[in-house]
Structure 1
Amino acid sequence: MEILRTILTVIFAIDCIALTVVVLMQEGKSQGLGAIAGAADTYWGKNKGRTMEGGLVKATSLMGVLFFVLTVVLNLNF
């Protein structure tokens, strides 16, 4: 069981670093008052998932879920 804990800890550390990098790569959402009218078009656009920004959002979500699951699993006493 100690080997499994070590492997999960290494994956957890890699996930933490990757999550930090992906969040820092994303563009800021505060673009001033001029962005209020066009915010719906850019966020809800059809091809949002195919852009780099959409990919970063998906990667952030996936790594956030992995972070949460690994945190819970590593804090169990087994």
Structure 2
Amino acid sequence: MTTAQNVLSIVMIVASLFLIIVVLLQNGAQQGLGAISGGAETFFGAGKASASDRIFARLTSVVGVIFVIAAIVLNLIH
């Protein structure tokens, strides 16, 4: 293995572990539970996500893109 393959392999391992952790830290979508218990979202509260939800969603996207790019590049140089 070349140095580039080793570095990309390490990047993929770190990215995959980080991606697993970030996905597990996100809140689950509980869309159907409000209708069952009688609670309804108001107009003002429907589109608001907490700051941590937005950060985790953005981190998931960024790390996912890094993982895919590293996988493609590693496949091309292999």
Q: TM-score range by the shorter chain?
A: 0.7 to 0.9
What is the CA distance between 1:44 and its match in structure 2? 3.5
Quick one: which amino acid aligns to residue 72 of structure 1?
A: I
Q: What is the identity, as a one-letter code, of the residue corresponding to 2:23?
A: V
CA distance in structure 2 between the partners assigned to 1:39 and 1:4 by the alignment: 52
Q: Which residue in the other structure is 1:44 paired with?
A: 47
Q: Which has the higher contact order (CA 8 A, sep 6+)?
A: 2
Q: Extract unaligned runs of 5+ from structure 1.
A: none
2:25 aligns with 25
Q: TM-score, normalised by structure 2?
A: 0.76
Deviation at 1:76, TM superposition (A): 1.0
Shift, 1:41, TM fit: 5.0
Consecutive aligned runs of 4 or more in structure 1 exceeding 4 Å deviation: 39-43
Q: What letter matches 1:60 in structure 2?
A: T
Identity of aligned residues (%): 31
User: Which amino acid in the other structure matches residue 18 of structure 2?
Assistant: A
Gaps of 5+ in 2: none
Alignment partner, residue 12 of structure 1: 12
Q: How many residues align?
A: 75
Higher mean Cα deviation, 50-59 or 36-45?
Answer: 36-45
**Bigger Rg, structure 1 or 2:** 2
Report the CA distance between 1:63 and its aligned residue. 0.6
Give the drift of 1:72.
Answer: 0.5
